[in-house]
Amino acid sequence: MVQPVIVSAVRTAIGRSFKGSLVNVPSETLATTIVTEAVRRSGIDPALVDDVILAELNYGGGDLARYAAVASGMTSVPGQAVNRHCAGSLTAIANAAAHVGVGAERVIVAGGVQSLSTAPIMKWRVPGVEFEFKEPWIPPSHPETPDAPTLDMAITVGWNTAKAVGISRAEMDAWAARSHQRAIDAIDAGKFQDEIVSLKAQLPDGSIVDFAVDEHPRRGTTVERLAALPVLHPEIDGFSITAGNSSGINDAAAAVTVVGDDVAAAQGVEVLAKVRAWANVAVTPRDNGLAASAVIGKVLGRAGLAVGDVTLWEINEAFASTPIAAVREHGMDEELVNFSGSGCSLGHPISASGARMVTTLIYELRRRGGGVGVAAMCAGGGQGGALVIEV
């Protein structure tokens, strides 16, 4: 088989949904920006691109990948939409690696896009009633049960995980505070500059800015400030999930270019990383937050690796309880996990988060002289996804 490799990786800065810098930037613009830049950075002739695969969620259909291909001038390139909730863009990259690995395609741009700020509002016709609609409506990710509500991830992911593993409020607040500090430190050190593509954004006041710095991390976040926040469900005895130890609601896009190592050699382009393995799992929706832990074991087995072989980890902070549970189960060194922040601080632009994680891993591993990186996350409906790369 051909070895799939990544020859470019790029993301936008992450905005705060509904009130941040990307509030007036639609999904189509984010998608076109990221696909165009991924191809440009790859050094590959756009005429050689075989496909674009982008994750999208709550976009309402339309196929962002095909839109971006055409808008980027690649009118002969098809586009594929992927939905695996939070793990969608990890799946998009895995799909690209699989196609390239078996020789079905040679060059694929893969990633994800999320603009909750401009997402359409859907309505659903109540079956059996001719003119009755439920609006707004979000399609469910799983059959709802009392312990796994479909629209309240604070319970289904955050709280259920904390209860199952015995994670305290103090531990989650400490993890979230560290996440913000690491993200701020990374921004101040300029670590994200190479991985971010700047784009023009119209702010709510009508002014135009070059948006190139993640805006969700909060300076001055401390454990004490997080401890003062109210829990999201005070009516539930012992509830410990707050807005502070949860991920943000965010907009962003990220993409990589995946090619065969033979294509990279023939085109004379630099290989940034090898794609070594990928995996997906499912658990009962009640245990959604534990899916990240489960998929890590599966993907390490596929790659023939042990925990100690991994140089750096990105485990998405859908809630702080998620990476804490994974660290405990697998005995990881938490200093190697979410080295520049994650969902609690950088934010969680759902369909883009996986590709963002892979992009950040690539650039950080290159700064450290190489190594193995694992990106893993839970996903709606009781799913989990992971990808192993080597720089």
3 state DSSP class of 317? coil
Q: What is the DSSP string of 3-62?
A: -EEEEEEEEPPPEETTTSTTTT--HHHHHHHHHHHHHHHHT--GGG--EEEEE-SSS-SS
Of 252, 277, 272, the C-alpha closest to 261 is: 272
- Given 85, 86, 99, 142, the catalytic residue: 86
| Closest-CA residue to 251 (of 9, 22, 10, 19) | 22
Is 233 noted as a catalytic residue in this protein? no
Is residue 251 a contact partner of residue 30, using CB atoms and an 8 Å limit? yes
Q: Is 344 annotated as catalytic?
A: no
The DSSP bridge pattern shows strands 51-55 and 79-82 to be: parallel
Helix (H) / strand (E) containing 53 = strand 51-55
- C-alpha–C-alpha distance, residues 364 and 164, integer Å: 32
* Cα distance between residue 198 and residue 177, in whole Å: 27
Give me the catalytic one of 142, 180, 216, 378.
378
Q: H or E segment at 79?
A: strand 79-82
Which residue type is seen at 146?
A: P
378 as an active site residue: the answer is: yes
Report whether the peptide linkage leading into residue 217 is cis, meaning its omega lies within 30 degrees of zero: no
- Stated as kind and residue range, the H or E segment containing 263 is helix 261-267
- Element holding 278 (H helix, E strand): strand 273-282
CA distance 359 to 373: 11
Q: Are 97 and 275 in contact, with CB atoms under 8 Å apart?
A: yes
Rounded to whole angstroms, the Cα distance separating 145 from 158 reads: 16
Catalytic residue ranges:
86, 348, 378
